[in-house]
Amino acid sequence: MKLLVVGSVAFDAIETPFGKTDKILGGAATFIGLAASVLKTDVSLVSVVGGDFPQEYLDMLESRNISTEGVEVVKDGKTFFWSGRYHNDLNSRDTLVTEVNVLENFDPKIPESGKDAEVLLLGNLHPGVQLSVLEKMEKRPKLVILDTMNFWMDTAWDILMEMIAKTDVITINDEEARQLSGEYSLVKAAQKIHSMGPDYVIIKKGEHGALLFHEGKVFAIPALPLEVVFDPTGAGDTFAGGFAAHLAKTGDFSFDNMKSAIIVGSAMASYTVEKFGTERLQEVTQQDLLDRIALFKQLTTFEVDLYFD
Amino acid sequence: MKLLVVGSVAFDAIETPFGKTDKILGGAATFIGLAASVLKTDVSLVSVVGGDFPQEYLDMLESRNISTEGVEVVKDGKTFFWSGRYHNDLNSRDTLVTEVNVLENFDPKIPESGKDAEVLLLGNLHPGVQLSVLEKMEKRPKLVILDTMNFWMDTAWDILMEMIAKTDVITINDEEARQLSGEYSLVKAAQKIHSMGPDYVIIKKGEHGALLFHEGKVFAIPALPLEVVFDPTGAGDTFAGGFAAHLAKTGDFSFDNMKSAIIVGSAMASYTVEKFGTERLQEVTQQDLLDRIALFKQLTTFEVDLYFD
């Protein structure tokens, strides 16, 4: 199946305890597209960049069969830019600069070839923009996956609710799930979020892994314990990309295959954090992915033989 | 095999958002003993209480085949008492009262019948007291399991290092592992702690589960996502008790069986938090335990069928 991704293609400048970068390639849709390309999923990006965005980045994406037909270039505009500094624990960061630039008036242009995509991944954008994408599709995609964040809960609640009502799978972090639902228990939070629309609720917990909730069932996966996390930027987007790409590639939206998709996304994300930005993700092979999926299997497999009298 | 447990038998008074208790039965050794009794493990407690400690509590423990021969009663002393109030998230708490009482001069008396125990669980006490227990054993137990905390790292570093060097399995939480090792990455922290002595390092992460490290291998288990956590008191001790009791019952100290033991401990702890203090744990049946182990299996099982070209 075809995967359509709407989200940012951007510049990042990153500081971690291990070093710093100049302006490098970033953006949610970029990480998602690259993750999809490892799985050789038919993927199309919808985004907007400025005239300052290097053609070589678009060429690199195209060379990996990531369609950039839907990436609008605003010649006299500037590309979205984010700069941040991670703390020593790499779990928290300060934003140093956010220049929204051309993303401010982002009006997604869906290319004809993308309008019949069966799987739609709506990256973290204003929920009004996300809704407008749904309206532009030829027909409703078979699976709508939504990423969002607390900022939209604070500033665009009603329209966010409207968007969530039309969502099949929502991915948010644990604090956002609590804010969205008003419940501290993640089990109760997931129940409330189900009642807002999504059949599947994925709660991302960073270094503590992720939870998937569906019809009273739960799946939990720890993150792979890593010796070195070099740069966490894009890990969540890579996760979402691997997840959505696996579902589009297999066309199977069952709970069991959603679990597989979470493993694929987690394995992919565990590579992203090993180098700055998209650098490591660009090198990942299918064999790398298989290796790390095998590690997840080792990490979580157990047998209990009981011996009761 | 025989399990010998050295730790507190105490009074707790607990406040949670759901209610509060008067002085009720608490203490690490109590939870550990009760967990072991569910598995029908041969278990013996070493502790000290005051003349104010109700005989009915000791009778209850004995009725479950938990030997209290090693629980010294100091007639004119008072039992250790802790009182705390949990915050709304149940993940943090304030200590309201700590009366150390007879535990201040605790000099563990190992009963003759316990001196040849093959598995020794040293609950969270001054490391000097923990070391003195090892010296009183007839011979070194086959497996020494140590629980400790940041307080001893701050106040008794050298003797704690001496104790850790004689330990096979150490259980600590993630912040303590970081403090003990000076490493933020838990993988690196576990490596450093291995080099201090223990072959097995268990890192407890509360609502995020636990990690087991051994010779470069890792096992990760999420906590069971619960709809209601009523009172977290004793969850960590129940976990340690289920863990140690499974190992003593099976006499198998392999990595694979350590994984099983972690599941048994986690399943047991998931019951403890459902009511105040030891109330729920006292009701747990072997069937309950099997049911929850099956839930852990469901929670963590996945298959990934890949489809690479």
**Interface predicted TM-score (ipTM) of this complex, two decimals:** 0.88
Structure tokens at B40: 């029908």
- pLDDT score, position A309: 59
Using pLDDT thresholds of 50, 70 and 90, give the confidence band for residue B265: very high
| Residue written as token pair 């009183």 | B136
Q: Test A222 with B225 for CB contact under 8 angstroms.
A: no
Nearest CB partner across the interface for B218, out of A90, A264, A299: A299
Average pLDDT taken over every residue of chain B: 95
- pLDDT score, position B227: 84
Q: Are B86 and B92 in contact (CB under 8 A)?
A: yes
Q: Test A220 with B225 for CB contact under 8 angstroms.
A: yes
CA closest to B228 among chain A residues: A185
Q: A232 phi and psi, to 5 degrees?
A: -75, -10
Q: For residue A166, what are the contacts with CB-CB under 8 A and spacing of at least 6?
A: A131, A134, A144, A197
- DSSP letter string over chain B? -EEEEE---EEEEEEETTEE-SSEEE-HHHHHHHHHHHTT-EEEEEEEEETTS-HHHHHHHHHTTEEEEEEEEETTS---EEEEEE-TTSS-EEEEEEE-GGGGG------GGGTT-SEEEE-SS-HHHHHHHHHHSSS--SEEEEE--HHHHHH-HHHHHHHHHT-SEEEEEHHHHHHHHT-SSHHHHHHHHHHHS-SEEEEE-GGG-EEEEETTEEEEEPPPP-S-----TTHHHHHHHHHHHHHHHH---SHHHHHHHHHHHHHHHHHHTTSSTTHHHHH--HHHHHHHHHHHHHHH---------
- pLDDT score, position A83: 95
Q: Test A218 with B299 for CB contact under 8 angstroms.
A: yes
Give the pLDDT of chain A (309 residues) as one tens digit per residue: 999 999 999 999 999 988 999 999 999 999 999 999 999 999 999 999 999 999 999 999 999 999 999 999 999 999 999 999 998 877 789 999 999 999 999 999 999 999 999 999 999 999 999 999 999 999 999 999 999 999 999 999 999 999 999 999 999 999 999 999 999 899 999 999 999 999 999 999 988 999 999 999 999 999 899 888 899 999 999 999 999 999 999 999 999 999 999 999 999 999 999 999 999 999 999 999 999 999 999 999 999 987 765
Nearest CB partner across the interface for B308, out of A208, A286, A299: A286
CA distances from A93 to A22, A27, A48, A240, B301 (A): 17, 17, 26, 21, 33
| Residue written as token pair 């958002």 | B17
Q: Are A15 and A277 in contact (CB under 8 A)?
A: no
The domains located in chain A, with CATH, are: 2-156+234-300 (3.40.1190.20)
Q: Test B188 with A304 for CB contact under 8 angstroms.
A: no
- pLDDT score, position B309: 59
- pLDDT score, position A164: 98
Q: What is the pLDDT of residues B179-220, one digit of tens each?
A: 999 998 999 999 999 999 999 999 999 889 999 999 999 999
Using pLDDT thresholds of 50, 70 and 90, give the confidence band for residue B90: confident
Q: Taking residues B251-268, what's their average pLDDT?
A: 97
- pLDDT score, position A227: 84
- pLDDT score, position A82: 96
Q: Are B293 and B269 in contact (CB under 8 A)?
A: no
- pLDDT score, position A39: 96
CA–CA distance, B103 with B24 (Å, rounded to integer): 17
Helix or strand holding residue A128 (H, E) = helix A127-136
Q: Taking residues B52-59, what's their average pLDDT?
A: 98
- B298 vs chain A: nearest CA distance in angstroms? 7
CA closest to A189 among chain B residues: B227
- B198 vs chain A: nearest CA distance in angstroms? 19
Q: Test A259 with B293 for CB contact under 8 angstroms.
A: no
